[in-house]
Amino acid sequence: MNAPMHLAEPSLRPAAVAGRFYPGEPAALRAELDALLAAAPALAGPRPCALIVPHAGYVYSGPVAASAYKQIAAMDPPPRRIILLGPAHTVGLRGVALPAATAFATPLGALRIDPELANLAAASPLVLRSAEAHAREHALEVQLPFIQHVLGDLPILPLVIGQVAPVALADLLDRLWHPGTLVLVSTDLSHYLSHAEAHARDAATVRQILALDDSIEPDQACGAFALRGFLHLARRRHLVPRLLDLRSSGDTAGDRRRVVGYAALAFAEADA
């Protein structure tokens, strides 16, 4: 079993993709976030306890992500902390990677790691501490400016998810998911198909997600391992999903020959 992670000495994970995936200058970043959120539809529905969000550059997936963050902005009271689950794009990983840092920086400031949840996660044999897994990972980072813009400064627990069994990840997430916690699963859908092929593939994937089917494959979603564990727990908890938006980069940024698919979905408690 891993030793508990003690967070007495602060350390900062610097922004890795600011200026590339999203604006690196604070005023420009705020203006882009304002525009994305203003353009997103205000969809009525029950209070979400979890959302699926895409993670490409804002020019590509920002409009779809904004439909999820508009739901978050309307939460009253707001969540007290956020657990972020995303794929390992830059390292090979088995299990779950907790950051070595105690805060993540963006052009809008820093979000601190929730020490209670970090210590609880670190006690699991499924979890390792890895600065490398987080250093260049964009899937979690691109969510942070949205979080800061709609919620301000609140604790986060960013977890990079590698190869892991759905039930094992579901059990870990179940222990971490305290009242007042919002879970964000960061994933894109199909990659580099034609617009028509992606539309069909992604529509089928969304049907699986809406059915809480935890057999999503990596060619359907780059965050498949995170999705599998989350959906396993969503089925256990009887969460109710709804689709907020489904598009591709061909819909948002023009080129339809090779696109990446994006979806935003919200999940609510059955009695919400």
Is the overall model pTM greater than 0.85, yes or no? Answer: yes
The second-level CATH assignment, the architecture, of 39-180+204-268 is 3-Layer(aba) Sandwich (3.40)
pLDDT at position 92, please? Answer: 82
> pLDDT over 70 for what percent of the chain?
96
Mean pLDDT of 215-243: 97
Write down the domain spans for the chain. 39-180+204-268
What's the confidence (pLDDT) of residue 139? 96
pLDDT digits (tens, 9 = 90+) for 168-182: 999 999 999 999 999
HEC sequence for the chain: CCCCCCCCCCCEECCCCECCCECCCHHHHHHHHHHHHHHCCCCCCCCCCEEEECCCCHHHHHHHHHHHHHHHHCCCCCCCEEEEEEECCCCCCECEEECCCCEEEECCEEEEECHHHHHHHHCCCCEEECHHHHHCCHHHHCHHHHHHHHHCCCCEEEEEECECCHHHHHHHHHHHCCCCEEEEEECCCCEEECHHHHHHHHHHHHHHHHCCCCCCCCCCCCCHHHHHHHHHHHHHCCCEEEEEEEEEHHHHCCCCCCEEEEEEEEEECCCC
